[in-house]
Structure 1
Amino acid sequence: MARMEAMIGDLIRIVGNTNSLVEEIKEDVDGLKVEVRSLREDVDELKVEVRSLREDVDELKVEVRSLREDVDGLKVEVRSLREDVNELKVKVADQGKDIEIIKAAMATKDDIAQLNERFDYLSERLLRQEEDTYRLKRLVGIK
């Protein structure tokens, strides 16, 4: 019987220890449940944030496509403008050559002044010759 009592005492102690361990485990499980709930809430919040980020990414993709289209359009316009500028450069160069030809063909002020002096000289000489001819005719008697 003493052995039975000892065994019952051991059993009571084991049951007490087990109950104590079960209580600790229950507290740990309750703590884990709270943590799991908190983690689930965090996961739900993260899911909402991920959805929002995906929507933002989709909007950004649309904007990037639009910007790429705009850039492509601008590239076409720049090419066209470059072609226009090159054509204008050719035209300006041609006009510059034409202007040089016209300048070379035009009489300058100095040229005109020299021609006027020469004309005045020739006019005076002609006038003197006419006077001399008139005098000679008078001397000879021709009217």
Structure 2
Amino acid sequence: MSDEEFRSLVLKELSDIRRDVAQTQQMTADLIRIVGNTNGMLEEAQQDIDVMKRNIDVIKQDIDIVKQEQKRMSDIQEQQGRVLEMLSYRSLAHDADIRDLRRVR
């Protein structure tokens, strides 16, 4: 192989290497851009998750309030049921007394 052929071969290989390096640099730049975009999307998703966590906390508080109100209403309803039962008993007793008084006359 002559010096000229060797030189030509080396220059071709060097050219191929430079092309490969340029492609690698382009792919690296593309990957860096993709990673940057992915990081941005991840940050947005994390912010959305944080907002959802805060909303869940508010919903939990609201549920606790509703449970307390439901318990209070249930207690009131139970108390009113006892009062109605007592009033019903008194009403029946009064009706019986009235019938007895009417018979006495």
Q: What TM bracket, shorter-length normalisation?
A: 0.7 to 0.9
Q: Which has the higher contact order (CA 8 A, sep 6+)?
A: 1
TM-score (normalizing by structure 1)? 0.64
**Alpha-carbon distance, 1:9 to partner:** 2.9
**Alpha-carbon distance, 1:84 to partner:** 0.8
Partners of 1:85 and 1:15 in 2: CA distance = 102
RMSD across aligned positions (CA): 1.8
Name the larger-Rg structure.
1
Aligned position for 1:90: 89
TM-score (normalizing by structure 2)? 0.84
Q: Does 35-44 or 97-106 show the bigger shift?
A: 97-106
Please give the residue correspondences for 1:6-17 in structure 2 after superposition, counting only pairs within 5 Å: 6-17=5-16
Partners of 1:11 and 1:99 in 2: CA distance = 127
**Alpha-carbon distance, 1:8 to partner:** 3.5
After superposition, what is the alpha-carbon deviation per residue over 1:1-29, rounded to whole angstroms, capped at 9, x for unaligned?
Answer: 42x54444333222222221221121111
Aligned position for 1:53: 52
Partners of 1:48 and 1:91 in 2: CA distance = 64
Please give the residue correspondences for 1:100-111 in structure 2 after superposition, counting only pairs within 5 Å: 100-106=99-105
Partners of 1:40 and 1:61 in 2: CA distance = 31
After superposition, what is the alpha-carbon deviation per residue over 1:105-126, rounded to whole angstroms, capped at 9, x for unaligned?
Answer: 33xxxxxxxxxxxxxxxxxxxx
Please give the residue correspondences for 1:40-79 in structure 2 after superposition, counting only pairs within 5 Å: 40-79=39-78
**Alpha-carbon distance, 1:77 to partner:** 0.8
| Percent identity over paired residues | 10
Shift >2 Å, 4+ stretches: 4-15, 102-106
- Tell me how many residue pairs correspond in the alignment: 105
Q: Which runs of 5+ in 1 are unaligned?
A: 107-143
Q: Does 4-13 or 14-23 show the bigger shift?
A: 4-13
Partners of 1:60 and 1:75 in 2: CA distance = 22
Partners of 2:7 and 2:99 in 1: CA distance = 129
Partners of 1:92 and 1:52 in 2: CA distance = 59
